[in-house]
Structure 1
Amino acid sequence: MNILDDLQWRGLIQDSTDIDALRAHIDEGHRTFYVGFDPTGQSLHVGHLTQALTARRLQRAGLRPLLLVGGATGLIGDPRETSERQLNPRETVEGWVADIQEQVRPYVDLTGDNAATLVNNADWTGELTALDFLRDIGKHFSVNRMLAREVVKARLESGISFTEFSYQIIQSNDYYELHKRHNCTIQFGGSDQWGNIASGVDYVRRRGAGPVHAFVTPLVTKADGTKFGKSEGEAVWLDSSLTSPYAFYQFWFNTADEDIAKYLRYFSFRDHDEILELEKATVDRPAARAAQRALAEELTALVHGANECAQVIAASQALFGRGELGTLSEATLEAALREAGAVEVDRNDVSGIAALFKESGLVKSVSEARRTVTEGGAYVNNVRVEDADGPLTDEQLLFGRIAVLRRGRKNISGVIMR
């Protein structure tokens, strides 16, 4: 199947330049494309996976990737509809560029005939003088067209600086420079970038180069209208120091049935038949969560590695008594318990087990905790509690500081000593 047909089947092309011309252009072979990531923080989040994985698909289909991390555009920031962006120090942005370059490397192959190349628009934008920018680049842009962009129109009343207003010009020039330097003829990005991307296609043409092509992927949304990429109000990052592999796995595992078919098509590298089978399983046996589990395992292994994924799966089982807690790493166990709502307790203020069950939120009162123990439904580290008012001993602490609390079969919390 042509790569464009696959992307369309997956719902990954929202807008494009002439799609037939783009298909013919790709079919001729040896094409180079680029996708950009602006360094607005030390890490990308799950929303960026759409672009990273689409780049991976295109490379697998024989195209050569240029992954641009915007050291120049990151100093400015794409205009927001609400207010002016805060300008970050150059040293900070340069550090973020290095972080994000390391993050995007694993999604493409940096060797072989169509090896990926990492590029930074600061390399050519930083050389420009103000007069060069105005005379050689700015003269090709119509202010009327730039004002027509939706995000710019939304800011006209509240005000927009020339700095943010110029972002579109700088991004458009990226396409021209990559076309000139690397014979890049295809750009893609998120649909919120369509105005900038189309402007770049037009600018390359105005400079007498091309023809060049472009398409955009849809912004990922949730069926309930809430923002994709958030878990408990926090962004789900690709950096494991910001979002643990366990929390990352749980984000995908907890995908709503209404969303999982779309996310499988966007993010999974399974073939069409496998995806259709998982979609059918969601309809026929929703409680099994086969599609969610498959996607969570695939993406956790891809982003964090097979070993981390195995640890996460082991933790998911061990917390509920279906595996050995002792086989887990300290980091994985702590991350899993924090996701479950574990409480931190000062070593000098350790109460009896019943009080800890109440403090952890597993029960509403100490008397309810005692009743749970009497009924045989209270566990510490998967061992049934016999004495509700007994202390939590040093011997019960995993890694000398962690204990898993469980009520019944499904209610988990924990204690982390400080």
Structure 2
Amino acid sequence: MENVYDILLERGYIEQVTHEEEVRAILSNERVPFYIGFDPTADSLHLGHFIQIMVMMHMQKAGHKPIALVGAGTAKIGDPSGKTDMRKMLTPEQINENGNKLRVQMEKYLNLDGENGYLANNADWLDELSYIPFIREIGSKFSVNRMLTAECYKQRLEKGLTFLEFNYMIMQAYDFLELNRRYKCKMQLGGNDQWSNIIAGVDLVRRMEQEPVYGLTFKLLLTSEGKKMGKTENGAIWIDPDKTSPYELFQYLRNVEDADVENCLRLLTFIPMDEVKRLGALEGAEINKAKEILAFEFTKIVHGEEEAQKALEAAKALFSGGGDSDNIPSTTLKASDFSEGMPLLDLLIRLELIASKGEGKRLVAQKGISVKDEVVGDFAMNITLDLFEDQALMIRKGKKVFHKVIVE
């Protein structure tokens, strides 16, 4: 049976690992409890987080035991990793509400039944700590000199690092110790921006428990140009269908750059690697088929086959200019709103396709707005009822964003 470490390596997930040969050996010979932490700073996972979920799914399929840790305790401090400014502080109520929503999402993709996988919340132990005993027992194991060389603190030192944030690494390391004691957790996994924190946790557990434990980081989801994927003009691409519809998720991946197709197929689908390489090597118009497969497969993982099929049919309806387009984002307005016509820029703002009239004027000047598949040449265009067919009107922004206006 193929070792899951080699699967993760071949698919391109692994960035750094503390003890490679030992990790490969225990993943071959044991059912390894491992954990990944998710700080509940928002009420949904986003596309970038899903690399971590995919790794957990691969690991669980191979028989290992995921511990999905909701960081309701550490979220009260805020992770300084990759941040030039201090994170916005959330109230305990917001943190708990977000954490509950993340739990529901993670249980959709992982078996966290208390035997094959676990759900944990670090507020259960961090909220109960007594300050003096904690810094005597745990703080004494950390060198400030060494901590200050960590990548996660360097950026913040330039602008000013609060003592509150300075505690984050110690708290995350303590999570690993608690999970080792409670669940026999042997590995901490995370995005590559967590490397310093993970090393600190591995070191702490080894010193406190005299037991071999390991750390591993995986690549962040980046474009071929090195930018983080999952961001659009309208914000993040969320896993929650109420925040990002299955259709919008599908369209985002259907429109990735050609150079990013193979990497996304490796990291965001379970398609066998031979097929990934074949699809990634397609060129010209044929690469669009690979993008369609990528979008369908990932939407299926996140939202199920039925929603993926609806999104696929909606996309095909748009590109063919006909068919059922019921799954395209739409807004219903009153017919009376158009009785004397509505200025195009006002309509685009109501549809949340633009943030300002200035942006709308620039888009029109760049031939970036189409009405009924015709490029708009005048930003002062008036949208009247006679433009609607069967009470519907299609607006397109750029090549990728479609929105249907319905009148009642």
Q: TM-score, normalised by structure 1?
A: 0.82
Quote how far apart the aligned CAs of 1:61 are.
0.8
Alignment of 1:294-373 (within 5 A): 294-321=293-320, 324-325=323-324, 328=326, 332-333=327-328, 335=329, 337=330, 347-350=335-338
> SS of 1:68's equivalent?
strand
Alignment of 1:148-227 (within 5 A): 148-227=149-228
Whichever residue aligns with residue 261 of structure 1, its letter is E
Alignment of 1:274-293 (within 5 A): 274-281=275-282, 283=283, 285-293=284-292
Call closer, same or farther: CA 1:251–1:198 in 2, change over 3 Å. same
**Equivalent residues of 2:68, 2:118 under 8 A apart:** yes
Whichever residue aligns with residue 296 of structure 1, its letter is A
Runs of 5+ consecutive residues of structure 2 not aligned to the other structure? 349-359, 366-370, 375-382
Q: Counterparts of 1:357 and 1:68 in 2: how far apart (Å)?
A: 46
> SS of 2:53's equivalent?
helix
Q: Counterparts of 1:263 and 1:185 in 2: how far apart (Å)?
A: 29
Quote how far apart the aligned CAs of 1:44 are.
1.2
Q: Counterparts of 2:401 and 2:168 in 1: how far apart (Å)?
A: 50
Quote how far apart the aligned CAs of 1:265 are.
1.1
**Equivalent residues of 2:338, 2:384 under 8 A apart:** no
Larger radius of gyration: 1
Call closer, same or farther: CA 1:405–1:68 in 2, change over 3 Å. closer
Quote how far apart the aligned CAs of 1:109 are.
2.1
**1:277-313 deviation digits (Å, cap 9, x = unpaired):** 21222x3x44451221111101111111222112212
Whichever residue aligns with residue 338 of structure 2, its letter is V
Quote how far apart the aligned CAs of 1:222 are.
1.1
**Equivalent residues of 2:69, 2:120 under 8 A apart:** yes
2:241 is the alignment partner of 1:240? yes
Q: Counterparts of 1:19 and 1:143 in 2: how far apart (Å)?
A: 28
Identity among equivalent positions (%) equals 37
Q: Counterparts of 1:125 and 1:358 in 2: how far apart (Å)?
A: 50
**Equivalent residues of 2:152, 2:196 under 8 A apart:** no
Q: Counterparts of 2:53 and 2:67 in 1: how far apart (Å)?
A: 11
**Equivalent residues of 1:198, 1:214 under 8 A apart:** yes
Q: TM-score, normalised by structure 2?
A: 0.84
Quote how far apart the aligned CAs of 1:389 are.
8.1
Residue 98 of structure 1 corresponds to which residue in structure 2? 100
Residue 51 of structure 1 corresponds to which residue in structure 2? 52
Quote how far apart the aligned CAs of 1:364 are.
7.0
Count how many residue pairs are aligned between Structure 1 and Structure 2. 381
> SS of 2:138's equivalent?
helix
Quote how far apart the aligned CAs of 1:322 are.
6.2
RMSD over aligned CA atoms reads 3.3
Whichever residue aligns with residue 118 of structure 1, its letter is L
**1:365-414 deviation digits (Å, cap 9, x = unpaired):** 9xxxxxx99xxx87xxxxxxxxx987367x922xxxx54468xx999654
Residue 84 of structure 1 corresponds to which residue in structure 2? 86
Quote how far apart the aligned CAs of 1:352 are.
8.5
Whichever residue aligns with residue 289 of structure 1, its letter is N
Q: Counterparts of 2:91 and 2:27 in 1: how far apart (Å)?
A: 40
Residue 390 of structure 2 corresponds to which residue in structure 1? 396
Q: Counterparts of 1:128 and 1:364 in 2: how far apart (Å)?
A: 58
**1:203-227 deviation digits (Å, cap 9, x = unpaired):** 0011033200111001221123433
Quote how far apart the aligned CAs of 1:66 are.
0.5
> SS of 1:312's equivalent?
helix
> SS of 1:188's equivalent?
strand
Quote how far apart the aligned CAs of 1:325 are.
2.9
Q: Counterparts of 2:342 and 2:273 in 1: how far apart (Å)?
A: 51
Residue 405 of structure 2 corresponds to which residue in structure 1? 415
Quote how far apart the aligned CAs of 1:60 are.
0.5
Residue 268 of structure 1 corresponds to which residue in structure 2? 269
Quote how far apart the aligned CAs of 1:353 are.
9.4
Alignment of 1:3-22 (within 5 A): 3-22=4-23
Whichever residue aligns with residue 391 of structure 1, its letter is D
Residue 384 of structure 1 corresponds to which residue in structure 2? none
> SS of 1:396's equivalent?
coil
Q: Counterparts of 1:65 and 1:349 in 2: how far apart (Å)?
A: 53
Whichever residue aligns with residue 103 of structure 2, its letter is Q
**Equivalent residues of 1:352, 1:391 under 8 A apart:** no
Q: Counterparts of 2:232 and 2:364 in 1: how far apart (Å)?
A: 25
**Equivalent residues of 1:15, 1:217 under 8 A apart:** yes
